[in-house]
Structure 1
Amino acid sequence: MGVAVFIVLLLGASFWVSKKGQEADEAVAHTVHNERLISIVQSQLQDAEIGQRGYLLTGDPFYLEPYDKAVSAISASVESLATGVSDNRRQDGNVAVLRSLTTQKLSELRQTIEHRRAGDEGAAIAMLRNGQGKVLMDGVRDVLERMRREEESLMTLRANQARRAGFVLEMMVIGLAMLTALMGVIAVRATLRRARSAEASRDELLQHLDRKLLAIMAADIVGYSRMMEGDEAQTLARLKDVRDRIDPIIANHSGSIVTTAGDSVLVAFASALSAIDCAVEIQGTMAADNADLPEEQHLMFRIGINVGDVIVQDGDIFGDTVNVAARLEPMADPGGICISRAVRDHIRKQRHLVFDDLGFLKVKNIAHPVSAFRVRFDPAA
C-alpha cells in the first residue's frame, strides 16, 4: 500500500516537474521575445532621432523618411512590449515611465522639425542645444535596460525553480528505488521463510510416507470411447470379459491393481521383469481373443511401463515414475508395449524380447524428455 501511494506521489511530482520544465522553456522564449521588442523600441526611437538630426542640419525632407517610419510604428511597438511584460508586475512602473518618456521624446522631435519647416532654424537648434532631447533619450535607454535586466532576472528565477523541481524529482526517484529495494528484500525474506516452512512440512510428510522401488504398468483400451458410442452394452460386456481374463494374469505375476477407471488400469509390480512378462502375456491373450472376431470388434491394449522410486500412501501410488508410465502408454502401438530406458536396462537380457529405440520423447507434463523403447515380441509365444 505504501509503495502504491509513493508511486502515485511520484507520478504527480513527475507531472509537476514536467510542467515546471515546460514553463522554464516558455520563460526563455518569452524573455527572448521581450528583449527583441525592447531592441525594436530603442531602434525606432534612434531612427526617429537620426532622421530629425539629418533634417535639421540639411533641411532636406529625404532625411525625414526614417523619422516618419519610426513615428508611425513606435506607439504600437511600445504597447506590444507592455503586453509582453504584463506577466511581471515589477515591470508596470517601467512601462509607465517608458510611455511617458516616449511621448515626451516624440514631442521634442516633432517640435524641432516643425520649427525647421517654418524656417525658424534658430529655434530648432536652440532646442537641440538645451540638452532636453539627450536627457529624454538617455532616460529611454535606462528604462529599456532596466526592463531587459528584469526579464533576464525572471527567466533565471524560473530556470532555478525548474532545476530545484528536477532535484526534488531525482531525490524522489532515489527514495522510490530504495523503498522498492527494501520491499523486495522483505518480500524475498518472507518467500524464503515460506519456502523453508513448506520444505520442512514436506520433509515431515515424507517421513510418514512409504517409498518403494516398483515397476508401474499403465494399460488402456484403444478406441474405447468410439466403441462405447457404437454399442455401449456390448462394449461394457466385452470389457468385463477382458477384465475377467487379465486380472488373473496380473495376479499370477504378483501384480497389485492400484486403480481402474473404465477402460484403464494401473498396476504395481515388485520387479520390472514381472511387469514385462505380465504385459506380454496380456497382449498375447488379447491377440488370441481377437483372432476369431471381426476387426471392428477387436479390443486391444496399449501398455506403458516404467520403474523407479514410488510413494505409497493409503493404497495409492504417486511420483514421477507413475506419471512417466502413464505418458508412455499412448506412445505404444495398439496391442504393443512401450517402456522406459530404466525398464529396458532391467530386462535387456531377456532373449525373447527385442527393443526398438524410440529416442528421447517429449511427453505431456514431464519436464525432461523420456528415453523410450518399443518392445517387439511374439504374441503367440
Structure 2
Amino acid sequence: MFKPSVNTLFGRARSEFRQSASVIIAAVIFITLAAVAASFYISQRERQAQQSIAHTIGNERHLSQLQSLLQDAEIGQRGFLLTNDRSYLEPYEVATRAVTGTLDALSEGVSDNSRQDGNVAVLRSMIAQKLSELRQSIARQSEGDNSGALAIMRTGQGKMLMDGVRETLKTMRAAEGRKLAERVSEARSADRRMEMVVFVLALVTAVFAILAIRSTTRRARSAELTRDELLSRLDRRLLAIMAADIAGYSKLMEGDETATLARLQMVRDLIDPIIESHAGTIVTTAGDSVLAAFSSALSAIDCALEIQREMANAHSASHDTERLLFRIGINVGDVVVQNGDVFGDTVNVAARLEAIAEPGGICISRTVRDHVRKQRTLIFDDLGFKQMKNIAQPVSAFRVREHPSQG
C-alpha cells in the first residue's frame, strides 16, 4: 500500500539530493582552497615586489647621502684653509665618520644588482683618494703650511676626484632607476594578477551559485512531484495526521536569527528521516512547522515519540534558552486530498492539538488513543474536552507520555 511507495520515492529523492549536495560541497571546497592558495601566492609576490621597491629607494637614498657627505667634508676643509679656524672642520669630521658606514650600506644594498659591482669598486677607490687629499691639505694647514695646503688644492686632483664621484653616483642612480622601474612594473603586474584571480574566482563562484540554484530548484520540484504523486494516491481515506512546530520559535528568531535557522536546519535533518522511517509523508512545511500524513495512528504515535526522544537527546547538553522543543498534535480520521495537499477537520484538529501540547510533549485525540492503547504501553493523561477554534464539537484530548519502564 502506502509504505513501499513512500520508501521508494523518498529514497530516490534523497539519493538525488545527496549527489547534488556532494557536487556542490566539493565545488565550494575546491573554489575556497583555490582562492586561498592563489591569494597567498600572489600576496607573497606582491609583498616581495613592494619590499624590492623599498630596497631600491633605500639605495638611492644612500647615493644621495654619500654625495652630501663628501660635499660637507669638502666645505669643511675649504673653510678651515681659508680661515684657519678649526671650528670649520666640524662638517668635515662628521662627514668622514659617516662616509665609510654609508658606503658599506650602499655596497650591501646594490649587491642584488650585478651591474653595480664595478661602480661600487670605482666609487670606493675615488672616495678613498678624495678623503686622502682632504686629510693632506688639512694636515699642512694644521702645521702652519698654508701655501702647501693651497698647493694641494691647486693641483686640481680634488676637483677631478669629486667630478668622478659625481659621475659614478649619477651612473649608479640611473641603474637603480631602471631597477626601480622594473620592480614597479612587477608590482603592478602582481596587482593585475590579483585582480584577474579575484575576477575569475568571482566568475566561477557565480557559475556554481547558478548551478546550485538550478539544482536546488530541480530538487524542490522533484520533492513536490514526489509529494503530489504520493498524496494523489491517497485520494480520500482514513489517515493519521501529525502537526508539529517549535515552541517559542518567534522569540528565538528575535534573539538570534542566524543561530536559530542553523539549529532549525539541524532539527529538520534529524526529524525528516524519522518521519520517513515510519512510512510518513511530509505534506507541508512552513518555517518551523511540519505537517505529515501516516497510514495508521500507530505509525504516527511511534514517529512522534521517537522525534521527542531524539530531540531530547540532541539537546541534552544545550542551555535551556538554546533548546528547540517540538509540540506535536496527532489526530486520525477521514481527509480529502486536493492538488497535493490535505484538508478537513482531521487536519484542523491535529493542528489545534499541537497548539495545546507542552513544549517537548505530544497531544492526541481520543480516536488516536483508542487506536494505539492496546498496542503500546503508554500513559495517557486525560485533558478533558477542549473547545477548539473552527471545530464544531469539543475534542477529547490526551497528553501522551512513555511509561517509566520504557525509559
- TM-score of the alignment, normalized to the shorter chain, above 0.5: yes
Amino acid at match of 1:336: G
Q: Match of 1:341, SS?
A: coil
Cα displacement (A) at 1:187:
2.5
What are the equivalent positions in structure 2 for 1:9-20 lying under 5 Å apart? 9-20=34-45
Aligned pairs (5 A) from 1:84-95? 84-95=109-120
Amino acid at match of 1:199: E
- Pick from 333, 337, 341: which aligns with 2:389? 341
The amino acid across from 1:181 in the alignment is A
Deviation at 1:326, TM superposition (A): 5.1
CA distance in 2, matches of 1:3, 1:202: 30
State the match for 1:253 in structure 2: none
CA contact (8 A) 2:331 2:350 kept: no
2:167 alignment partner, SS class: helix
State the distance in 1 between where 2:353 and 2:77 align: 110
* Aligned with 1:125 (options 143, 146, 150): 150
1:91-240 aligned at under 5 Å gives the runs 91-117=116-142, 120-211=145-236
The residue matched to 2:391 in structure 1 has which SS?
helix
Partner of 1:72: 97
The SS at the match of 1:86 is helix
Shift of the 199–6 alpha-carbon distance from structure 1 to 2, 3 Å rule, reads closer
**Partner in structure 2 of residue 323 of structure 1:** 350
Q: Give the direction of change, closer, same or farther, for the CA distance of 1:306–1:203 in structure 2 (3 Å limit).
A: closer
The residue type equivalent to 1:21 in the other structure is E
Whole-Å separation in 1 of the counterparts to 2:176 and 2:196 = 30
Query: Which of 121-130 and 103-112 deviates more?
Result: 121-130
1:135 shift after superposition: 1.6
User: Is residue 310–residue 322 contact of structure 1 (8 Å, CA) maintained in 2?
Assistant: no
3-state SS of paired residue (1:342):
coil
2:88 to 60, 63, 68: 63
Cα distance in 1 for partners of 2:333, 2:45 equals 72
Shift, 1:103, TM fit: 1.0
Query: 2:176 is aligned with what amino acid?
Result: E
Higher Cα Rg, which structure: 1
Question: Helix, strand or coil: the match of 2:51?
Answer: helix
Deviation at 1:134, TM superposition (A): 1.2
Alignment of structure 1 residues 304-319 onto 2, 5 Å: 309-310=335-336
Provide the identity percentage.
Answer: 45
Alignment of 1:44 onto 2:60:
no
Residue 69 (structure 1) shift? 3.3
User: TM-score scaled to structure 1, two decimals?
Assistant: 0.56
Cα distance in 2, alignment partners of residues 42 and 115 from structure 1 = 25
Q: CA deviation at 1:165?
A: 1.4
CA distance in 1 between counterparts of 2:184 and 2:79 reads: 45
Which amino acid counterpart does residue 323 of structure 1 have in structure 2? A
1:7 is the counterpart of 2:7 = no
Cα shift readout 1:218-241 (whole Å, capped 9, x = no counterpart): xxxxxxxxxxxxxxxxxxxxxxxx
SS of alignment partner, residue 343 of structure 1: coil
What SS does the aligned partner of 2:160 have? helix
Q: How far, CA to CA, are the matches of 2:186 and 2:47 in structure 1? A: 12
C-alpha change, 1:103 and 1:200, in structure 2 (3 Å) is: same
How many Å separate the matches in 2 of 1:29 and 1:308?
83
Aligned length: 263
How far residue 100 of structure 1 moved from its aligned partner, in angstroms, is 0.8
Shift of 1:136: 0.9
How do residues 356-367 of structure 1 correspond to structure 2 at under 5 angstroms? none
1:12 is displaced (CA, Å) by 1.8
Q: CA deviation at 1:130?
A: 3.2
1:128 maps to a residue whose letter is: M
Alignment deviations for residues 206-254 of structure 1 (CA, whole Å, 9 cap, x no partner)? 33223259999xxxxxxxxxxxxxxxxxxxxxxxxxxxxxxxxxxxxxx
Change (3 A) 1:168 1:45: same
The answer to whether the Cα contact below 8 Å between 2:31 and 2:205 also exists between their aligned partners in 1 is: no
CA distance in 2, matches of 1:118, 1:304: 119
1:59–1:116 contact (8 Å) kept in structure 2: yes
How does the TM-score come out when normalised to structure 2? 0.53
Q: Distance in 2 between matches of 1:171 and 1:59?
A: 68
RMSD: 4.0
Matches within 5 A, 1:283-322: 309-310=335-336, 320-321=347-348
- Residue 390 of structure 2 aligns to a residue whose secondary structure is helix
Match of 1:34 among 59, 63, 75: 59
Residues 320-352 of structure 1, C-alpha deviations (whole Å, 9 max, x = no match): 4473365358499946212432322xx5xxxxx
Deviation at 1:176, TM superposition (A): 1.5
Question: Which residue is equivalent to 1:267?
Answer: none
Q: How far did 1:119 drift? A: 5.2
Counterpart residue type for residue 172 of structure 2: M
